[in-house]
Amino acid sequence: MSDLDLFTPLQLGPHQLPNRLVMAPLTRNRARADGVPTPMMIAYYRQRASAGLIISEATCIAPTAVGYPLTPGIWSAEQAAGWAPITAAVHAAGGRIFCQLWHVGRVSHPSLLPAGGLPVAPSAVQPAGEAATYEGPQPFVTPRALETAELPEIVAQYRRAAEHALAAGFDGVEVHAANGYLLDEFLRDGTNRRSDGYGGSVEHRARLLLEVLAAVCAVWGSDRVGVRLSPIQPFNDMRDSDPEGTFSRVVELLDPLGLAYLHVTRLGRDAPGAAGPHFDPDRLRRLWQGVYMTNHGYDRASATAAVVNGEADLVAFGVLFLANPDLPERFRRGAPLNEPDPATFYGGGEQGYTSYPFLD
């Protein structure tokens, strides 16, 4: 036990966080079709600047990384210019914001990609389920396996995106290696069937992630770069034959890098539908020497317990921050929370986006 709580400040690299509540990355589908942020996103992020840290919605690193309608990008100077007033508004309100760098990999659809190309993946393994497109849900297609010679360009795309995020005024970046997207697809053996230096052993499957992190850290410095993992998350038809062994080794490989934080998405402790033999991802905390962030289903009491008991340094909240722009103050006062409106989660206008009321 300790005297820490959710409102104990935390040093995160060069940033002093005033509390331990993080706004999780939340896809809201309110950017322009070309990936440029829209003006209403300025108010949305500014409203939530009392979070210790905001992690932006997942933000595409390249035209070939897009997998959902109306999601923002960070591959162009125009997109970076669209993000600049958002980061400035967060800073003016006293907040800090990281950009989550995203390549969706196999769960895209030709209708979303340049020239109707196939989605790319470590291996040509078709996921079960449907892609979200402008024409509505469409069955996932079989992706194209990336050639070994193409992987340096993937790394270069992450580096260019990191450069644009720096120019846009973000305080750091989070590399999205979770939830069945490209880097996660390389990590798990259910989607990585490669026989080159990027497949087989865990060390080889983690190679692309490590190369991406090296490139991004060269832009930002490691103490302003986080990474997100989801060891037992089955979303996007993911699985691994040994998630505990895989991700324990991945964390051991990441630990010496001096990253700002490790962000681990857990499921409930019984983990129905876990993507492989169940283990509690909280065990990874013991392997990580730096700042550890967790999320998935926390409330005020369970988040406080996680920090007090040393299970996490930071706790990320998704839907609660979506519906409660002043979530830290509501937690501080023990005040009632707004009810979220699921019909407005994805797409639409200001209703259900910037319209949730504050306490005061």
Predicted confidence (pLDDT) at residue 221 exceeds the cutoff of 60: yes
Tell me the mean pLDDT in the region 233-248. 94
Tell me the mean pLDDT in the region 206-219. 98
Q: Under a CB-based contact definition with an 8 Å cutoff, are residues 106 and 185 in contact? A: yes
Q: Under a CB-based contact definition with an 8 Å cutoff, are residues 304 and 6 in contact? A: yes
Q: Pairing state of beta strands 130-133 and 136-139?
A: antiparallel
Q: Which helix (H) or strand (E) holds 218?
A: helix 207-220
Q: Residue 140's pLDDT is what? A: 98
Tens-digit pLDDT profile for residues 293-338: 999 899 999 999 999 999 999 999 999 999 999 999 999 999 999 9
Tens-digit pLDDT profile for residues 267-286: 754 455 667 787 888 889 99
CB half-sphere exposure, 257, CA atoms < 13 A: 29
Two tokens at 75?
A: 């591959």
Tens-digit pLDDT profile for residues 42-92: 999 999 999 999 999 999 999 999 999 999 999 999 999 999 999 999 999
Predicted confidence (pLDDT) at residue 253 exceeds the cutoff of 80: yes
Q: Residue 272's pLDDT is what? A: 56
Q: Residue 271's pLDDT is what? A: 53
DSSP annotation of 78 reads H
Tell me the mean pLDDT in the region 4-17. 96
User: Containing domain of residue 262, as a range?
Assistant: 34-293
Question: Chain centroid to CA 246: how far?
Answer: 20
Q: Which runs of E-coded beta strand occur in the chain?
A: 10-12, 15-17, 21-23, 53-55, 59-60, 97-102, 120-121, 130-133, 136-139, 144-145, 172-176, 225-229, 261-265, 292-295, 314-317
Q: Residue 278's pLDDT is what? A: 79
Q: Under a CB-based contact definition with an 8 Å cutoff, are residues 245 and 158 in contact? A: no
pTM of the model: 0.96
Active site residues: 181
- Residues whose CB falls within 8 Å of the CB of residue 152, separated by 6 or more in sequence, listed in order: none
Q: For residue 4, name the pLDDT band (cuts at 50, 70, 90).
A: confident
Asked if the structure places residue 355 within a domain, the reply is no
Asked if the structure places residue 121 within a domain, the reply is yes
Asked if the structure places residue 302 within a domain, the reply is no
Distance CA 15, CA 223 (A): 9
Q: Residue 279's pLDDT is what? A: 83
Geometric angle at alpha carbon 187, from 260 and 31, rounded to 5°:
65
Asked if the structure places residue 270 within a domain, the reply is yes
* Residue carrying structure tokens 């065990």: 283
Task: From 191, 217, 197, 216, select the one nearest 104 (Cα to Cα).
Answer: 191
292 phi and psi, to 5 degrees? -120, 125
Residue type present at position 125: V
Tens-digit pLDDT profile for residues 337-356: 999 999 999 999 999 999 99
Structural domains counted in the chain: 1
Asked if the structure places residue 206 within a domain, the reply is yes
Asked if the structure places residue 21 within a domain, the reply is no
Mean pLDDT, the chain, integer: 96
Tens-digit pLDDT profile for residues 79-135: 999 999 999 999 999 999 999 999 999 999 999 999 999 999 999 999 999 999 999
Domain CATH for 49: 3.20.20.70
Burial per residue of 105-119, b for 16 or more beta-carbon CB atoms within 10 angstroms, e otherwise: bbbbbeebbeeeebb
Task: From 90, 135, 44, 19, select the one nearest 349 (Cα to Cα).
Answer: 44
Asked if the structure places residue 299 within a domain, the reply is no
Asked if the structure places residue 226 within a domain, the reply is yes
